[in-house]
Amino acid sequence: MNDLASGAEHSRIHIWFAALKPWPRRGVALLAGALATLGHAPFQLVLVYAAAIVALVWLLDAAATRERRISAAFGVGWWFGLGHFTTGLYWISSAFLVDSASFGPLWGVPATLALAGGLAIFWGVGCALAALVWTTDLRRIPAFALAIFVTEWLRGNILTGFPWLLPGYVWTPGEPVSQLAAIFGIYGLSLITLVIAATSAAIADRRASTGMRFAPLIAAGLVLGLTWGWGAQRIARAPIDAPGAQPIVRVADSGLSQRDKWCEYETYAERAACYPRQEARVLQRYLEISGAAEESNASILIWPEGAVPTLNFFQLNNQAFLDALGAGLGDRALVTGLTRCEPGPECDAFMRGEASVTNVRLYNSAAVIDGVSGVPRVAQTYDKHHLVPFGEYIPFWNLISGFNIAPLQRIGAGFTPGAPPTRLIVPEAPPAIVLICYEAIFPGMVPRGAERPGWIINVTNDAWFGDGSGPHQHFVMARYRAIEEGLPLVRAASGGFSGIIDAHGRVVRSVQSESEGAATEAQLPSALQETSYARLGIWLLLALVFVITLLRLAPAPSAVRDSNL
């Protein structure tokens, strides 16, 4: 038994955590990580998240007294991360059910556990870093927050990055605290969240005086109150758009599942027979949900990622397809997600069934299609820049192609990445940028300065992820991009949440996907002035890190206790 477990000057809480045997200790960390997931969408239980972080700090207090404290801290963090990411990302297993004939319905479980275990390493490393500079006083709070912040930033940026379930996302977007992302971005908000959540751990510091135990909690409450007040004032100053000041935008989802949307085929002949009928059926569903031009006030339609199962350049040379699309569009503009094949001999041969898909460059794209007097015309396209590993491409394909591993999209080696997002011209609206699906979880993809757009379009296909928490989480993250950039966001989601979001992250109109289809429309909210984050993001974040670092480097506080303890 270590000195903490036996010392009379330690609180019962610290003694209890220190006395835990290895597997019970891992179980407590695993449970705390699972409870932390309740802080995220669709639950947004911030107090539960804070309680989970406090439990992690107490586990690290115990780990810091062990002979091998670095490895002990890593283990605590890894088990916490495993519980957190397994419960937070369980919905990924649903993607394997879409094409169970190829992947098998049981592959989703080990794949999800493998991903959760890999991501948990970042929390393990973060806790190990914290243990290097751990203290027995309240200075361990900023040390913990900084260490986890560093590894969360790394998780969001290295190896293509996967910044899902960042601590800052526990604050509901559009509410006052979330507005802090307009200054520091989601990573800065995550650092502040970790500090605030961890402060309650100091209550159990029996060696400190009563004042020193509760001072961090009081300070955190003051910071939170000031942040709430500032955010509430920022929201209250939001401009009110006069009717007609901006175009009306309509988002539509067909309601078709991923399996129902695409043909299943074994040969090119089967594909050639199936797709013309399937494309026409899906297109007709979208046109019905979008409403006839005379039935809707919208001048711009937004359809989700991969809306119609087709390669656009070929269907847009199909007169029957064009006639149907033009009749539905009228004079409206359409922004839609689609799969694009670069025109050329290889693509022509592929469409004739004479070439393998592995020899063709395919893009996950979005297109602006003008509707003028019922005649559609492709104006501009954007090819997705940030692709999903294993979902849209296989990393190190040249090395592992011999294993016959295919991405979930089942398109050979996967999509080809395009250039970073640039402004697209949408008729009767400010210039826009399109973020396709996964791209909306990455801060900083919106062009700045003279290239800054007037709004963000997010087209996504969340039908891959079932009816669980995944679509809720994705919707929350997309709304934070609006707050960070001070730009309205219009989101069309297949199998998820579509809506029109203002520049403060608030929902103007939204609709959840239904089997019969869903649509909603509203006037496009106005953009705000470029936010502090958009202008100075990295510098403000570094300044915040510097301030938190000073808290860790400050002299140790007095450890004198009240006489009644």
List the catalytic residues.
305, 384, 437
> 422-434 as b/e, with b when 16 or more CB fall inside 10 Å?
ebbebeebbebbb
Place of tokens 């074994």: 266
Cα 424 from Cα 368, distance rounded (Å)? 8
55 to each of 67, 68, 121, 462, 551, how far by Cα in Å?
Answer: 21, 20, 19, 33, 21
Residue 244, classified by CB atoms within 10 Å of its CB into exposed (0-12), middle (13-18) or buried (19+), is exposed
β-partners of residue 460 are 493
Strands of 303-396, DSSP E: 333-341, 362-372, 375-383
- Residues 6+ away with beta carbon under 8 Å from 62: 4, 14, 17, 18, 20, 25
Q: Put the strands of the sheet holding 489-494 in their side by side order.
A: 432-436, 455-461, 489-494, 497-501, 507-512
**How many CB atoms sit inside 10 A of residue 161's CB?**
16
**DSSP, residue by residue, 468-508:** SSHHHHHHHHHHHHHHHHT--EEEEEETSEEEEE-TTS-EE
556: nearest Cα among 206, 277, 140:
140
Cα 259 from Cα 250, distance rounded (Å)? 25
- Residues 6+ away with beta carbon under 8 Å from 208: 137, 138, 202, 557, 558, 559, 561
| One-letter amino acid of 456 | I
β-partners of residue 262 are none
CA atoms lying within 13 Å on the CB side of residue 138:
28
Cα 397 from Cα 260, distance rounded (Å)? 29
**DSSP, residue by residue, 417-478:** P-PPP--B--TTS--EEEEEGGGGGSTT-S--GGG--SEEEEEEEGGGGTTSSHHHHHHHHH
Token couple for 229 = 């007040």
Token couple for 332 = 């409206």
